[in-house]
Amino acid sequence: MSRPEQALGWRKRIGVLSPTVMETACHDFYRMAPDGVSICAITSNVEHWNNENFKQAVIDPLVTLSKYLASREVDYIMHCGMPVVTLRGKGFEEEIVKIIGDASGGLPASTSIRSAIRALAHLNIADVVVVSPYPQELHQSALTFLKASGFRIAAEHTEDVVFKRLQDVTPAHIAAVAKRVLSRASKADCIYIPCNQWAAADAAPLIEAECGVPVVSGAHADHWEAFRVLGINDPLPGNGRLMETLRGSVAAPAAAIA
């Protein structure tokens, strides 16, 4: 902290709603966030949800926690947990944002898949390689959602990692898998690696350096969208092409990026 006379989040404070623990996600934030930008994170401790208990397990906590984050006077709310959105289908991302906005008194917000779609569009991506850690059903829901958002899947693969072991997967392993999957694509503009529970953000610069294509991790997309909306244009260096596009930019209206 370079300004001891200032509060931790003297520039902006970003609220984070996570369905489960924050481990790699905290590391990712402070890897990217410049001095004066902080997080105020809270989890809903979701262990299991399905169609029958979706409102009780996902929506009701979302309202309660959004109100709480607003009471902490955050400037933005980042909703993590892509599968709870993609399994409900295209369009549900906007419903989540509306729920958060209504509960928080109008704070700007986004969800992981919504931020990813905006990030990929910002980079003019058409053909995307997708590497995820999800079980097959969740992985397929992400692919379907991306296709419905106008992207072509150039190649795809899931590592199908046990959820409570995600933090143990090394950046080197993720990078090696991504490079292997990329080699199967006849044409690819980008590699997208969702999920903030594994070290994809640390793997991204390794992949970009070796493969020459931009890499968007779930954490990169979430933080890029938050920083973009809040006018934070000086992310810490070494975080890949997407984050570098923020430099010298000003906050863009949400409608400017579909």
> What residues pair up with 215 in beta bridges, in sequence order?
191
The closest of 119, 123, 99, 111 to 188, measured between CA atoms, is: 123
Residue 245 lies in a domain: yes
Confidence band for 110, pLDDT divided at 50, 70 and 90:
very high
2 is a domain residue = no
How far is C-alpha 249 from the geometric centre of its chain's CA atoms? 20
213 located within any domain = yes
- What's the confidence (pLDDT) of residue 1? 58
Among residues 182, 196, 181, 189, which one has the least CA distance to residue 133? Answer: 196
Task: Tell me the average pLDDT across 63-92.
Answer: 93
Average pLDDT over residues 207-232: 97
**48, pLDDT greater than 70:** no
- Residue 7 falls inside a structural domain: no
Do 164 and 213 fall into the same domain? Answer: yes
Q: Which of 16, 17, 23 is nearest to 164 (CA)?
A: 23
pLDDT greater at residue 55 or residue 25 = 25
The answer to whether residue 24 scores a pLDDT higher than 50 is yes
The mean-pLDDT minimum among 152-161, 186-195, 240-249 falls in 240-249
Among 82-91, 102-111, 219-228, the range scoring the smallest mean pLDDT is: 82-91
Using 50, 70 and 90 to split pLDDT, how confident is the model at 103?
very high
Claim to verify: residue 213 and residue 227 sit in the same structural domain: no
CATH of the domain at 168: 3.40.50.1860
SS3 154: strand
Q: Of 180, 175, 166, nearest to 203 (Cα)? A: 175
What does the pLDDT average to over 62-67?
A: 92
Helix (H) and strand (E) counts for the chain? 11, 8
pLDDT at 257 over 60: no
